[in-house]
């Protein structure tokens, strides 16, 4: 690799690579394509060429995937502004740049990351992303609607799309579909939009910074704090639905749903606030009822004999509902368990956390902030940051996060040592890749410290580690090691079942079995079933953090619009 690397040189290298890439594709030359990628190179396609979310790893699979793809990239060109040069620890310097291209029916972008193997610059990662459908561009910005009277309908016709759930996932999907002129209705079981956040315990705040969490079309106010409170987010979601505007029925609940294979329509019965039942026949059903699903409620022997309060973390509404001095056992050591333990401790309760297995812990800042460092108050545009972030395929992301996790652990050394001294068992993920990969693979098993770890290290929240509750008595929890703890309240924070179980409860066994497991990574390293077509025609799943919902809501909406316009086979 050359000792110095200027932006001008990087521009020349990237332009030459892109020219060779276009020529290899035009000639259908698999060997030429293979030579353009590193042995550990990856191509991730987000709808642009495959109409799916796919990852191809290694030159052989990349070449085969590109030459077999349904679409071919046309008019490839480097974007203005020049490439960025980065020093990637353990890998070396990279040339990273954005590329524009098109297909026969879409405008697209790509992010290219080049790395030298000592002889020539090859692609380490290439991510191709569909941005707009030709002739069906989002009605926003330069394409904003010109007609007057765009208010939300209170009683729409049968919508083309029915979205179940008005949290951040459901609302962003509805917003994207609305800008694509797809008639969409959102139904929400709670009385108000935002109640899924508003009704949680008072001390809850988001665990990542505000600038990573902006919603499409309507960013958060610049005067808001770095870490948003749950009530701010709840009210913002309600405002978001009103301003855009979106069609939302609150206090509405799905009674049942069935899919007609011949007509390609759902029949969905919805009970509204006044008790009336409305039958809807949408073509698409989007379930956006939460990241995970049904709370995991383990059976505890002797629960019927316990005279205190036994509740699940999903039902916990805050320490204000309980008197000071309570003796509380919190079962679990993930994010919810820590938040509940902190809330109760700071309100004067005597809290013990039952940690049954190890937990990955990082500080909120500087630890977790490093995972979102591409987002900043005055940083690069969100659309660029999202594409760069999504350009790392999950197999490579795990490797990169190992180094990041080691660096975070060094910065958090004092915090982690304090937890160990308190008897708290730590891990850094099954392969050392840290908290974000635990989220993608398992949906939990980590905690971003916003204060509870300090309480544990100080001994204010005690830890009982590596055992289970053997049984409850009238006033105690008896553990499998024979120890007994007198308690007035037990809060079970043991997570959730796979999201497939919430599908089963809502739509029945046949649909749930067709969809299969949700979340976790498939054989290519893509998240299973989320934001993409599932095994059930006309059924989609949306869920995740605000940072995920912003870009992926667009990709889901593009797929639905593609089916509506018969662009997808």
Q: Contact 483/305 with Cβ under 8 angstroms?
A: no
pLDDT of residue 97: 97
Of 355, 341, 314, 339, which Cα lies nearest the Cα of 496?
A: 314
pLDDT tens, per residue, the chain with 569 residues: 334 678 899 999 999 999 999 999 999 999 999 999 999 999 999 999 999 999 999 999 999 999 999 999 999 999 998 899 888 877 889 999 999 999 999 999 999 999 998 889 999 999 999 999 999 999 888 888 887 655 555 555 799 999 999 999 999 999 999 999 999 999 999 999 999 999 887 778 888 899 999 999 999 999 999 999 999 999 999 999 999 999 999 999 999 999 999 999 999 999 999 999 999 999 999 999 976 667 778 899 999 999 999 999 888 888 777 778 999 999 999 999 999 999 999 999 999 999 999 999 999 988 888 888 899 888 899 999 999 999 999 888 888 889 899 999 999 999 999 999 999 999 998 899 998 888 878 778 899 999 999 999 999 999 999 999 999 999 999 999 999 999 999 999 987 777 888 899 889 999 999 999 888 889 999 999 999 999 999 999 999 899 999 999 999 999 999 999 999 76
Q: If you classify domain 7-133 with CATH, what class do you get?
A: alpha beta
Of 239, 244, 107, 268, which Cα lies nearest the Cα of 178?
A: 244
C-alpha radius of gyration, the chain, whole number: 25
Which of left, alpha, beta for 496 (phi over 0: left; psi -120 to 50: alpha)? beta
Between CA 475 and CA 542 the distance in angstroms is 42
Helix-then-strand count for the chain, H and E: 16, 25
CB proximity list for 120: less than 8 A, separation 6 or greater? none
Q: Is 7-133's fold the same as 155-293+498-564's? A: no
3-state DSSP helix/strand/coil percent for the chain, to nearest 5? 35, 25, 40
Which fold would CATH assign to domain 155-293+498-564? FAD/NAD(P)-binding domain (3.50.50)
Backbone angles phi, psi at 323, to 5 degrees: -75, 155
Handedness of CA 325, 357, 444, 375 (dihedral sign): positive
Query: Residue 325, CB half-sphere, CA atoms under 13 Å: how many?
Result: 0
Strands 106-116 and 121-133: antiparallel
Between CA 421 and CA 426 the distance in angstroms is 11
3-state SS, 424-461, equals CCECCCCCCCHHHHHHHHHCCCEEEECCHHHHHHCCCE
Which fold would CATH assign to domain 303-492? FAD/NAD(P)-binding domain (3.50.50)
pLDDT of residue 337: 94
pTM above 0.85, yes or no: yes
Structure-derived torsion over alpha carbons of residues 557, 560, 564, 569, reported in degrees to the nearest 10: 130
Helix (H, G, I), strand (E, B) or coil at 289: coil
Backbone angles phi, psi at 324, to 5 degrees: -70, 155
CB proximity list for 175: less than 8 A, separation 6 or greater? 215, 216, 217, 240, 244, 246, 553
Helix (H, G, I), strand (E, B) or coil at 218: strand
Domain spans of the chain, in order of start: 7-133, 155-293+498-564, 303-492
CB proximity list for 317: less than 8 A, separation 6 or greater? 199, 200, 201
């Amino acid at each position: 690799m050359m000792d110095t690397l200027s932006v001008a040189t990087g521009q020349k290298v990237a332009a030459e690579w892109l020219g060779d890439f276009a020529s290899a594709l035009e000639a259908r030359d698999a060997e030429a394509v293979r030579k353009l990628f590193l042995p550990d190179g990856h191509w991730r396609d987000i709808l642009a060429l495959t109409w799916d979310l796919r990852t191809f790893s290694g030159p052989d699979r990349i070449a085969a995937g590109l030459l077999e793809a349904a679409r071919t990239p046309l008019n490839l060109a480097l974007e203005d502004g020049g490439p960025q040069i980065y020093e990637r620890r353990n890998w070396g310097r990279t040339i990273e740049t954005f590329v524009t291209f098109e297909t026969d029916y879409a405008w697209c972008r790509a992010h290219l990351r080049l790395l030298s193997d000592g002889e020539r610059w090859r692609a380490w990662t290439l991510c191709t992303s569909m941005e707009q459908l030709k002739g069906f561009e989002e009605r926003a910005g330069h394409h904003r609607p010109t007609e007057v009277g765009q208010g939300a309908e209170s009683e729409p016709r049968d919508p083309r799309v029915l979205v179940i759930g008005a949290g951040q996932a459901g609302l962003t999907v509805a917003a994207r579909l609305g800008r694509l002129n797809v008639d969409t209705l959102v139904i929400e079981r709670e009385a108000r939009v935002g109640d899924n956040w508003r009704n949680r315990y008072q001390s809850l705040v988001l665990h990542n910074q505000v600038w990573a969490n902006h919603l499409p079309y309507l960013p958060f106010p610049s005067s808001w704090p770095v870490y948003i409170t749950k009530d701010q987010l709840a009210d913002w979601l309600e405002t978001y639905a009103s301003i855009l505007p979106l069609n939302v029925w609150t206090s509405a609940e799905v009674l049942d749903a069935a899919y007609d294979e011949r007509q390609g329509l759902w029949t969905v019965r919805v009970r509204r606030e006044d008790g009336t039942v409305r039958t809807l026949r949408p073509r698409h059903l989007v379930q956006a009822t939460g990241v995970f699903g049904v709370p995991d409620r383990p059976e505890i022997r002797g629960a019927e004999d316990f005279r205190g309060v036994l509740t699940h973390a999903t039902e916990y509404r805050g320490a204000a509902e309980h008197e000071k001095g309570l003796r509380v056992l919190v079962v679990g050591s993930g994010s919810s368990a820590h938040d509940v333990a902190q809330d109760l401790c700071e309100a004067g309760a005597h809290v013990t956390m039952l940690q049954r297995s190890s937990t990955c812990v990082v500080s909120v800042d500087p630890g977790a902030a490093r995972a979102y460092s591409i987002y900043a108050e005055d940083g690069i545009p969100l659309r660029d940051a999202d594409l760069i972030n999504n350009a790392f395929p999950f197999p490579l992301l795990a490797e990169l996060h190992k180094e990041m996790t080691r660096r975070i652990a060094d910065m958090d050394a004092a915090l982690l040592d304090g937890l160990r001294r308190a008897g708290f068992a730590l891990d850094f993920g099954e392969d050392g890749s840290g908290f974000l990969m635990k989220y993608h693979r398992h949906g939990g098993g980590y905690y971003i410290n916003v204060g509870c770890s300090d309480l544990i290290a100080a001994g204010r929240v005690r830890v009982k580690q590596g055992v289970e509750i053997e049984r409850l008595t009238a006033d105690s929890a008896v553990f499998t090691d024979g120890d007994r703890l007198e308690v007035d309240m037990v809060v079970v924070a043991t997570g959730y079942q796979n999201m497939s179980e919430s599908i089963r409860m809502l739509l029945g066994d046949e649909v749930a079995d067709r969809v299969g497991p949700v979340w976790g990574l498939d054989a290519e390293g893509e998240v299973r079933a989320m934001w993409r077509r599932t095994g059930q025609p006309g059924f989609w799943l949306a869920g995740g953090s605000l940072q995920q919902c912003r870009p992926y809501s667009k990709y889901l909406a593009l797929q639905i619009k593609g089916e509506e316009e018969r662009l997808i086979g």
